[in-house]
Structure 1
Amino acid sequence: MHAARLQVVVTGQGAPAADAVVSLHSPAAVAATRAGRGTIDQRESQFVPRVTVVTVGTPVVFPNSDNVRHQVYSFSPAKRFELPLYSGKPAAPVVFATPGVVELGCNIHDWMLAYVVVLDTPHHAITDARGLGRIDAPAGTYTLRVWHPGLKGGTLHEERIVLADAPLERAVSLSLVATPEATAPADDKLRALQEKFRKLKDNR
C-alpha cells in the first residue's frame, strides 16, 4: 500500500501552536505499532525536550546533564513512577506501556515540567514553531487526533479523515490556556553556576 502525506497546521487563539502532538489512529495502525527508544535530558533544571512522543512499550532514559541532582516522577494514570535522587544517568530506563499523556515533574525543582505522549500508532508528529506537523502513512481511513499541553480540560481534538493519492491538508484551531514556563528561578541558576565553577576549580 502506497504512502500518503498529511499536513496539519495547528493554531491556538489565532497563533501557531508549537509542541502539539498530531497522530493518526486506525486498527491497522495499532497492529503496525512497534516500541522504540526515547531520551529526555535535564539541562539547566529543565526537561529537554518539553514534549516527547513514544509508542507503547518504549523504554525512555532520563540522563541528568546538570551539576545538581534531580528526582524525576509522575503521578499520571498512564504511568506512575519515581526515580531515586540522582546525577548523571540512572541505571534503568522507564518503560511506557499504556497509551495516554504522562506529566513529568521533579521533586526537587517544582518548576520543571514535561510531557510524554504514549501512542498506539506509529503515525505521529510534533508541530514546529509554525504549528506545522507532517505525517506520512498508508492510504486509508483514520481518526486524526491533536493534543497540546495547553488544551482546556485536556480534551483531544478528533476528526475522521481519508488519506488517498493527493496530499491532504488540515487546519486545526484549538482553545488553549497558557502553560507554566518551565524556567529555573534566577537564584537557582546562580547556585548551579556557582557549583559548576566550584567543581572546575576543585579539578584543577
Structure 2
Amino acid sequence: MNKFSASLILSALCACCAASAVAATLTGQLVNQTGKPLVGAVLTLQGPAGKNVLALKADMDQRDKEFVPHVLAVHTGTEVKFPNSDNIRHQVYSFSAARRFELRLYGGTPSEPLLFDKPGVVVLGCNIHDWMLGYIYVTDDPWFVVSDSNGSVILDQLPPGHYVATLWHPKTPDMRPVSGGEFNIPASGLTQRFSLKVESSDEEPASPASTAFGDAFHKATHE
C-alpha cells in the first residue's frame, strides 16, 4: 500500500469517527395546560435509525411507604427490582395488562428482578398500604426521560435529525400517551417546551385517597 492510499484510508476513518461523534442535546420542559411545570411526566422520542437500545436494569424502591420514584420509565425488555427500604414489609402487585404480578409480603430486596417485556403503563399498588401508588411506563421508543421537580428534561447523545415525540403523565385523560409533535434537532442542540393536558393542575395529590390504586387502575385499563 502506497502512502497516498494509506492517507486516503486514514482520512476516511477520521471522517467516519467525526461523524459518529456528532451528538446533540435536547433540553426541555413539560408543562400542563396552564403552563405549570409537570413533575413525573414522560417524554419519549423516535428519531434517526441506527440507535440500538440494550435491555437495562432499574429499581423501583419503597421508602416511607411510598414508591420511589413515583414514575419510572424503562425500555421494553428491562428487568426491574423492587427493593423495600422501609423497616416494615410490603406486598407489591399490579393487574395491568402490560405486566401482571404479585410480590408477596416481604422486606429487603427480592432475589429475582421482574422482566417488563410489553410496552404500556403498569400501575403499582401495595396490598398492605392502600395509598401507595406508583407507575412504570414501558416504551419501545429508544429515547425517554422523566421530568424532574421543575418539569425539566434533558436527553443527550442524540443523533441530529427529525424526531417524533410522545408525552405521558399519570393524570392524562384515561392515562393515555399523547403526541408531543415533530421537530428537527440540529447538531447544536434544541430547547423545546412541551404542553400536556392533564386532569388537574396539581402534580401530586396532597392526601391520596384509600381508593387511589383502584382509580388509577381503572383509568389505565379503560378502553
TM-score normalised per structure 1: 0.82
For 1:123, the equivalent position in structure 2 comes to: 143
Question: Which of 90, 103, 108 in structure 2 is aligned with 1:70?
Answer: 90
> Against the structure 1 CA distance between its residues 27 and 57, is the aligned structure 2 distance closer, same or farther, given a 3 Å change threshold?
farther
Aligned length: 184
Question: Which of 124, 149, 162 in structure 2 is aligned with 1:104?
Answer: 124
For 1:160, the equivalent position in structure 2 comes to: 182
- Cα distance in structure 1, aligned partners of 2:136 and 2:176: 16
1:157-198 deviations in Å (ceiling 9; x for gaps)? 32122222232222122221245457699xxxxxxxxxxxxx
**Unaligned ranges ≥5, structure 1:** 186-204
Matched residue SS, 1:14? coil
Amino acid at match of 2:169: H
Q: Once the 2 structures are TM-superposed, how far is the Cα of residue 145 of structure 1 from its aligned partner?
A: 1.1
- In the TM superposition, 1:128-143 aligns within 5 A as 128-136=148-156, 137-143=158-164
- Cα distance in structure 2, aligned partners of 1:160 and 1:134: 17
For 1:21, the equivalent position in structure 2 comes to: 42
**Unaligned ranges ≥5, structure 2:** 1-19, 211-223
Matched residue SS, 2:108? coil
For 1:44, the equivalent position in structure 2 comes to: 64
1:115-165 deviations in Å (ceiling 9; x for gaps)? 111122332221122211111211122211111111122232321222222
Q: Does 1:175 align with 2:197?
A: yes
Contact 2:48 2:162 in 1 (8 A): no
Matched residue SS, 1:83? strand
Larger Rg: 2
Identical aligned residues as a percent: 43
